[in-house]
């Protein structure tokens, strides 16, 4: 049997990227600090399955410490025209004593993360964490599990259950209050450390042709 990967016509080459960020939504994760103030941090390692959100959260971050202590968060999704909001939060930490490695990378301690981002903090309805009014989508969430521990070799993965979804009304399908219109929703995407937006729809999908309500748990 011929190994097609060794044929002259093969178009792939073997490569070894340090990261595999082929394209995921950027999120802003809001948590509650021990002194009662709010922390807000950008993340590019996020995906969803059913009502579960999965985040890659560094064990040394203020967000991780807050999630461990309170078990609550708001996961906000900025739109593609809010890249400046994300960039204003880059290289900032809410930790009162930033780790040496963060200081070496140019991080600065910022107490008012919402103010730094230019966002308005409004109360959530289920969790005791504020959500940013200006992001088109905000998900109230509670921690389900931490899938790795500090010092372990596993990726720092935190699983949360989404308990309430907030959306700007212009994103909803007319007459369908529980459906986000994908033609109106334009998330901010991280692809190999650069920010992108979505193009208009290129084709109808046969991969996901069932009614969305069939996914409801």
d(CA 180, CA 178): 7
* Residues 19/192, Cβ–Cβ less than 8 Å: yes
Please check whether residue 84 lies inside any domain of the structure.
yes
Is residue 8 in some structural domain?
no
Q: For residue 70, what are the domain limits?
A: 21-197
Q: Is residue 105 part of a domain?
A: yes
In a domain, 79, yes or no: yes
Counting beta carbons within 10 angstroms of the beta carbon of residue 92, is it exposed (0 to 12), middle (13 to 18) or buried (19 or more)? buried
Alpha carbons 65 and 71: distance in angstroms, whole number: 10
- Judge whether 67 lies within some domain: yes
Q: Is residue 173 part of a domain?
A: yes
Q: How far apart are the first and last CA of the chain?
A: 46
Nearest CA to 42 out of 53, 56, 54, 21 is that of 56
Burial class (CB in 10 A: 0-12, 13-18, 19+), 135: buried
Contact 60, 67 (CB under 8 A): no
* CA dist., res. 212 & res. 217, Å (int): 11
| Spatial distance between the Cα atoms of 103 and 49, rounded to a whole number of angstroms | 35
Distance, CA of 181 to CA of 166 (rounded, Å)? 14
The answer to whether residue 12 sits within a structural domain is no
Kindly report the backbone phi and psi dihedral angles of residue 85, in degrees, each rounded to the nearest multiple of 5, phi listed first. -65, -45
CATH number of residue 157's parent domain = 2.30.110.10
The domain tally of the chain equals: 1
Sequential pLDDT tens for the chain (217 residues): 555 555 667 889 999 999 898 999 999 999 999 999 999 999 999 999 989 999 999 888 999 999 999 999 999 999 999 999 999 999 998 888 888 888 888 888 899 999 999 999 999 999 999 999 999 999 999 999 999 888 777 789 999 999 999 999 999 999 999 999 999 999 999 999 999 999 888 888 888 778 888 888 7
Percent helix / strand / coil, the chain, rounded to 5: 20, 35, 45
Count of beta carbons in the 10 Å neighbourhood of residue 149: 9
The answer to whether residue 113 is domain-embedded is yes
């Amino acid at each position: 049997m011929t190994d097609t990967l060794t044929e002259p016509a093969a178009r792939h080459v073997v490569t070894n990227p340090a990261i595999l960020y082929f394209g995921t939504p950027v999120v802003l994760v809001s948590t509650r600090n021990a002194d009662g103030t709010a922390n807000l941090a950008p993340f590019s390692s996020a995906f969803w399955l059913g009502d579960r959100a999965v985040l890659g959260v560094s064990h040394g971050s203020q967000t991780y410490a807050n999630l461990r202590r309170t078990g609550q968060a708001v996961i906000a999704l900025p739109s593609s025209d809010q890249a400046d909001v994300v960039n204003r939060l880059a290289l900032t930490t809410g930790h009162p004593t930033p780790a040496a490695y963060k200081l070496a990378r140019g991080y600065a301690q910022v107490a008012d993360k919402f103010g730094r981002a230019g966002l308005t903090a409004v109360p959530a309805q289920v969790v005791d964490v504020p959500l940013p009014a200006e992001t088109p989508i905000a998900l109230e969430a509670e921690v389900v599990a931490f899938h790795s521990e500090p010092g372990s070799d596993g990726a720092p993965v935190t699983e949360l259950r989404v308990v309430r979804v907030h959306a700007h009304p212009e994103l909803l399908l007319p007459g369908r209050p529980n459906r986000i219109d994908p033609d109106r929703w334009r998330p901010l995407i991280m692809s190999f450390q650069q920010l992108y937006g979505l193009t208009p729809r290129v084709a109808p999908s046969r991969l996901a042709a069932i009614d969305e309500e069939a996914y409801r748990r």
